[in-house]
Structure 1
Amino acid sequence: MSQIKVLIVDDARFIRDHVTRIVKEHFPEYQIDAAEDGDDGQKAMSKVDYDLILCDWEMPGKSGLELLTWARSQPHYADIPFVMVTSRGERDYVLQAIQAGVNDYMGKPFEDQQLVDKVKKYAGQRVESSADSRRKAAQMLASGKTAASKKVAKKPKGLAHLRSSAGNLRCAVKEITLQNVKVMVKREEGIPQLLEPVVVDIEQVSGGSVAQMNGFIIGLQANEKSQETTFLAVDVQFVDNDPEKLEVLTGYIASLNKKPK
Structure 2
Amino acid sequence: MSKVRVLVIDDANFIRDLVKKALRDHLPGVQIEEAINGRKAQQLLNRQPVELILCDWEMPEMSGLELLTWCRGQDSLKTTPFIMVTSRGDKENVVQAIQAGVSDFIGKPFSNEQLITKVKKALHRSGVLQNLEPRTPPKMLSSGSFANDSLSALTAGKTESAAPPSAAPTQARESVAPPIPKKTAAGYGQGQLRLADSSTACVIKALSLKEALLVVKRTESLPQVLASAVLDLEQGDNAEVARLNGYLHAVAAFEPKPDSEWLQLTLRFVDSDAQKLDYLSRMIARGSPQKHFIPGA
Using structure 2 for the length normalisation, give the TM-score: 0.53
| 1:248 match: secondary structure | strand
Q: Are the counterparts in 2 of residues 109 and 250 from structure 1 also a CA contact under 8 Å?
A: no
Per-residue CA deviations over 1:26-65 (Å, capped at 9, x if unaligned) read 1120111110000000011111110000000010011100
- Taking the TM superposition and a 5 Å limit, the aligned residue runs for 1:153-168 are 162-164=178-180
Q: Are the counterparts in 1 of residues 28 and 135 from structure 2 also a CA contact under 8 Å?
A: no
Cα 1:30–1:94 change in 2 (3 A) is: same
Counterpart among 215, 239, 247 of residue 201 in structure 1 = 215
Q: Which amino acid aligns with 2:246?
A: E
2:106 is equivalent to residue 106 of structure 1: yes
Which residue of structure 1 aligns with residue 154 of structure 2?
A: none
Q: Which has the higher contact order (CA 8 A, sep 6+)?
A: 2
Q: Percent identity?
A: 37
Cα 1:101–1:162 change in 2 (3 A) is: same
Cα 1:129–1:162 change in 2 (3 A) is: farther
2:252 is equivalent to residue 248 of structure 1: no
Residue ranges of structure 2 left out of the alignment (5+ in a row): 146-172, 185-192, 202-212, 252-264, 266-297
- Taking the TM superposition and a 5 Å limit, the aligned residue runs for 1:78-97 are 78-97=78-97
2:19 is equivalent to residue 19 of structure 1: yes
| 1:11 match: secondary structure | coil
Counterpart among 158, 172, 194 of residue 176 in structure 1 = 194
Cα 1:168–1:240 change in 2 (3 A) is: farther
Cα 1:85–1:207 change in 2 (3 A) is: closer
2:75 is equivalent to residue 75 of structure 1: yes
Cα 1:116–1:104 change in 2 (3 A) is: same
Using structure 1 for the length normalisation, give the TM-score: 0.59
Q: Distance in 2 between matches of 1:108 and 1:25?
A: 20
* Matched length: 188
Q: Are the counterparts in 2 of residues 200 and 214 from structure 1 also a CA contact under 8 Å?
A: no
2:22 is equivalent to residue 8 of structure 1: no
- Taking the TM superposition and a 5 Å limit, the aligned residue runs for 1:132-171 are 132-133=136-137, 162-164=178-180
C-alpha displacement at 1:87, in angstroms? 0.6
